[in-house]
Amino acid sequence: MTLLSVFVGAALGAMLRYVIIMIWPVQSSYFTAILIINSVGALGMGIVFASGQLSALNGFWSVGLLGGFTTFSTMMVQSAQLPFNKQLRYLMIQLIGGMLCFYMGVIIVNIFGTMA
C-alpha cells in the first residue's frame, strides 16, 4: 500500500510540475518556474514536517507528491545553463529561498496550530 501511495503521489507531483513549467510565461535568469516549484514544495514540506505527520503521510505527501513536484536535477541544469558568474547566485537563491519557505511552513503550522 505504501508503494502505491508513493507512486500515485509522485505521478501527480510530476504532472503538476510539468503543467507549471509549460504555462510559466517568464524565463529570466533567476525567477523561473523551477524556483517557484521548489519554493512551494519546501513550504509544503515544512507544513507536513511541523504538523507531526511526516511519518504517517511520508509515502504520499513527502516522498510522493512533494518529491515528484520539486526537482533538484532541473535546478542543476538551469544553473549550468547560466554564465559561470551567475551560477552560484542562482543556487544560493534556490537554497536559501527553499530554507526560508520550509521554515515559513513550520511557522504557519505553529501559528494556526495554536489557534485551533
Whether the pLDDT of residue 114 is over 70: the answer is: no
Whether the pLDDT of residue 115 is over 60: the answer is: no
Q: What angle do CA 46, 8, 95 make, to 5 degrees?
A: 30
State the pLDDT at residue 41.
Answer: 96
CA distance 28 to 19: 18
Assess contact for 91 and 35: CB atoms under 8 A: no
The whole model's pTM is what? 0.85
The model's pLDDT over 9-59, given as tens digits with 9 standing for 90+, comes to 999 999 999 999 888 866 666 678 899 999 999 999 999 888 876 665 677
Binding-site residue positions for Na(+): 67, 70
State the pLDDT at residue 103.
Answer: 97
Residues whose CB is less than 8 angstroms from the CB of residue 89 and which lie 6 or more positions away in sequence, other chains included: 30
- If DSSP codes are grouped into helix, strand and coil, which group holds residue 116? coil
Domain that holds residue 34: 2-115
> Position of cell 507544513?
47
Number of domains in the chain: 1
Residue 64 DSSP code: I
Residue 25 DSSP code: -
Binding-site residue positions: 67, 70
